[in-house]
Structure 1
Amino acid sequence: MSSGNMEEEQQLEEPLFILENGEVYRNPTEVKMSQIVLPCHANHCAELSVGQLLKWMDSTACLSAERHAGCSCITASMDDIHFEHTIGVGQVVNIQAKLNRAFNSSMEVGILVSCEDLFSERQWKVCNAFATFVARRTDSGKVQLKQILPRTQDEQMEYSIAAERRRMRLIHADIMKDLLSNGPVSRVGECQEYQNAVPAEKTRVESVELVLPPHANHQVNTFGGQIMAWMENVATIAASRLCNAHPTLRTIDMFHFRGPSQVGDRVILRAIVNNTFKNSMEVGVRAEAYRGREPLRHINSAFMTFEVLDEDKKPRTLPRIRPEPVDGMRRYREAIARKKIRLDRKYIISCKQTEVPLSVPWDPSNQVYLSYNNVSALKMLAAKNNWVLSSEENKVSLYTLEENQFLSFRVEMKVDVPAERVFILLSDLSRRQEWDSHYKQCDVINQVDEDDVIYRVVTPSVSKDSKFQDFVLLASRRQPCDKGDPYVIALRSVTLPTHTATSDCNRGEVLCAGFTIWEESKTITKISYYNQATPGVMPYISTDIAGLSSRFYSTFCACSKFLEENKDGSPAVQSAAL
């Protein structure tokens, strides 16, 4: 198998963190598991079975959740998992799990899986995942989880972004529904021809498993990882029947457990190939449980993407699938929708920041992921702890951060205005020209929903050609998830076919900018403005960062005055501004 990038290999082992006071710190929820891959864990290609890996991942993450909750926990869901490499017999699997954030009765646990070659001492990343666990009720009623206190920069980032990931999970079903009903996917297949295609029925697999004590956890419920392992097994068989070869599992889509099963249950697993693309196929799996003559209980559904590799480890071209009528065609269309969602996530969310273009195309089907990325990028920038104070004037502070060929800056001040009112006023970019001289014009292009608006902003020229500069910006706002969280207003450039660059303006781009708004008391609010400077923005700020201009100071003094003059707004005016 391939060993991954050499840079990755040296960064997997996280050292103990030394705090500023000299204290050696280790996350109290962190759990590590190491397993050597034996032949009994492997398939006939001498590679670790993904089902076995899922069992180990689930067990490790559950122990982390229970370490924090102090009671039994059950697996509720697992976000998308992309397997970057396979793992061979004789190699060591290292799994690290730790709690990212606790909500009321649920928790997000981050999982990192790496592989270690004992003979060469190399390590490389295999996958990472985010699992949600729910604390089980006690005799006294529902469990109320204590909050965690992030203490390192990485923990602060994950804690902050966990709220965004939770929001994505809650609206996942709605995204799928909208894409199927309103997008081009709804019309796919109506005029398709399926000559020389493999009938989907040929790939259908059904299997039954009896839940025995070794399959159960300490709560006598079937391990979530065990259910996933059984599902992966039948999915692999279905994929093999299509291509008459051994497939490689690449991705498992986000899924959630609908209910538990216990020792003594019979678990029926059904799998079928839903659709094939050029080099990949999606297999759908459904798990149901029953006992005696009782009705079937739906336990879980999952969608797995497989590839078939040739002798050179390159993906083979796969045959087309001919779906069954009605339900088969529904699954066929849903597979296309899920592929689009996967590509949107990979393109917008999963890419390294330096690999993503400054302006990403916007359309209704990827709006949710752009909004997620927009807010998450700002939260990650705000969580960095290596900001340097550049200048300070009358309690307006300017900080800078040079990292990864980017120059970022942060302007910070406090105002005697309630945080919620500050959030309402700053959320409406069309009012920013009242205090920011850089905003000469700001028009709403698209009021997407109550949290996302696309604007066109025109700013004055800073070059000799005297052309104005314009930006097409997606503004995404978030209210606090919990007490102690900030209000967030995130900005980034997007492209729209209806608003392309024009000859009378130089098109500028914003990679990451926006506000975090912290409530320090009922009336005192701390405002931080961030901007990850791009070449189009640099001319506006270079002299300020060099300390040769007071434009930052005057602009944010004007912002403070604007907020204080408008802090007493009526509810009707407030909602109109959103």
Structure 2
Amino acid sequence: MEVGVCAEAYQGGEPLRHINSAFMTFEVLDHNKEPCTLPRIRPEPMDGRRRFQEAIARKKIRLDRKYIISCKQSEVPLSVPWDPTNQMYLSFNNVSALKMLAARNTWVLTSEKKKVSLYTLEENHMLSFKVETHVAVGAEKVFVLLSDLKCRHKWDPHYKECEVISHVDGDDTIYRVVTPSVSKGGKVQDFILLASRRRPCDSGDPYWIALCSVSLPAYPPTADYNRGEVLCAGFSVEEEATHTKLSYYNQATPGVLPYISTDIAGLSSRIYSAFTSCRTFLEENEDILTSSTATQPGSQGI
């Protein structure tokens, strides 16, 4: 929570003079010294509402500063050149990077709406986010439905177009994804993504769908699109007693962060609406699995 402090001075019967203002962010811990979520507040009318909106705007500015830092880091391309002769190594690294991101134990719950939780992780001047929800569909079916990125536009407004460039094998596919413009009147973005999926090694392990950017000579950046890059992203799908836990991870890059920063700052609810739609999509389509998708061979781990 943010606390504003105002210092004022007065002398005799003179009116108050403003000296300085400061804003401090406090983290509230529970009995286990873990960050806990405060109850939602309703700001008072007029000045209370104005201060509430200004606090949200300051949070967005802090996120934008991280975005500027990320821009400096991305002067070196993040995409890995795709090499069919090195396919196994690239696929291994794709899944391994997602597992390492998911294993971080310093995720902080930012907010929760519509049974969708949004977490953030700040590490080495990078901002990562995690979206978590539960669905009443078996983990295997969730895994199969989410493995085909061509279906993602049905629930994710960030996926405007998606085409398969190459079916590398039963577990790895290269896609070209087109996303809407970040700013009004700006260019749309496109991404060349390697999607690597893995079934559990042992009972109780999650399913994984890992995404990262690759570069292909046949698909260079064009003048009509801003070429975006994904460093590490993807889903983990974990079977639980009565539901399936679905988690989405993304290590935010300059091409990705503008789509999520407004949600993290509390200025929009698009990410919550998207994953509510994802939950509905999975529940409505759990019995509609094409034979070609359902029978693809699966690799047992990495």
Matches within 5 A, 1:392-471: 392-471=112-191
Contact 1:422 1:563 in 2 (8 A): yes
Say yes or no: does 1:375 pair with 2:98.
Answer: no
Say yes or no: does 1:491 pair with 2:217.
Answer: no
- TM-score, structure 2 as length reference: 0.72
Residue of structure 2 in register with 1:559 after alignment: 278
2:166 counterpart letter in structure 1: N
Cα distance 1:370–1:555, how it changes in 2: closer, same or farther (>3 A)? same
Residue of structure 2 in register with 1:292 after alignment: none
Q: In the aligned structure 2, how far is the partner of 1:535 from the partner of 1:365?
A: 30
Contact 1:358 1:509 in 2 (8 A): yes
Q: Give the CA deviation at 1:394.
A: 2.5
1:466 counterpart letter in structure 2: G
Match of 1:544 among 244, 247, 263: 263
Say yes or no: does 1:519 pair with 2:239.
Answer: yes
2:126 counterpart letter in structure 1: F
Q: Give the CA deviation at 1:575.
A: 2.7
Q: In the aligned structure 1, how far is the partner of 2:231 from the partner of 2:159?
A: 18
Q: Give the CA deviation at 1:553.
A: 0.8
Point out which structure has higher relative CO (alpha carbons under 8 A, 6+ apart): 2
Contact 2:170 2:296 in 1 (8 A): no
Q: Give the CA deviation at 1:464.
A: 4.1
Residue of structure 2 in register with 1:530 after alignment: 249
Residue of structure 2 in register with 1:572 after alignment: 291
Cα distance 1:539–1:570, how it changes in 2: closer, same or farther (>3 A)? closer
What's the secondary structure of 2:162's corresponding residue? strand
Cα distance 1:355–1:466, how it changes in 2: closer, same or farther (>3 A)? closer
Matches within 5 A, 1:177-192: none
Q: Give the CA deviation at 1:569.
A: 2.8
Matches within 5 A, 1:6-25: none
Question: After the TM superposition, which parts of structure 1 deviate over 4 Å for at least 4 consecutive aligned residues?
Answer: 353-357
What's the secondary structure of 2:274's corresponding residue? helix
Contact 1:490 1:513 in 2 (8 A): yes
Matches within 5 A, 1:1-400: 357-400=77-120
Q: In the aligned structure 2, how far is the partner of 1:388 from the partner of 1:575?
A: 36
Cα distance 1:354–1:478, how it changes in 2: closer, same or farther (>3 A)? farther
State the aligned residue count: 228
Q: In the aligned structure 2, how far is the partner of 1:356 from the partner of 1:366?
A: 21
2:139 counterpart letter in structure 1: A
Q: Give the CA deviation at 1:574.
A: 3.8
Contact 1:428 1:577 in 2 (8 A): no
Q: Which has the larger radius of gyration?
A: 1
- TM-score, structure 1 as length reference: 0.38
Cα distance 1:535–1:526, how it changes in 2: closer, same or farther (>3 A)? same
Contact 1:477 1:488 in 2 (8 A): yes
1:405 counterpart letter in structure 2: H
Residue of structure 1 in register with 2:199 after alignment: 479
What's the secondary structure of 1:490's corresponding residue? strand
Question: Deviations along 1:242-297, whole A, 9 cap, x unmatched?
Answer: xxxxxxxxxxxxxxxxxxxxxxxxxxxxxxxxxxxxxxxxxxxxxxxxxxxxxxxx
2:265 counterpart letter in structure 1: A
Cα distance 1:509–1:470, how it changes in 2: closer, same or farther (>3 A)? same
Percent identity over the alignment is: 69
- Provide the aligned C-alpha RMSD in A: 2.2
Q: Give the CA deviation at 1:369.
A: 1.0
Q: In the aligned structure 1, how far is the partner of 2:257 from the partner of 2:144?
A: 28
Contact 1:493 1:510 in 2 (8 A): yes
1:489 counterpart letter in structure 2: I
Contact 1:408 1:530 in 2 (8 A): yes
Q: Give the CA deviation at 1:422.
A: 0.1
1:506 counterpart letter in structure 2: N
What's the secondary structure of 1:365's corresponding residue? helix
Cα distance 1:388–1:498, how it changes in 2: closer, same or farther (>3 A)? same
Q: In the aligned structure 1, how far is the partner of 2:293 from the partner of 2:32?
A: 45
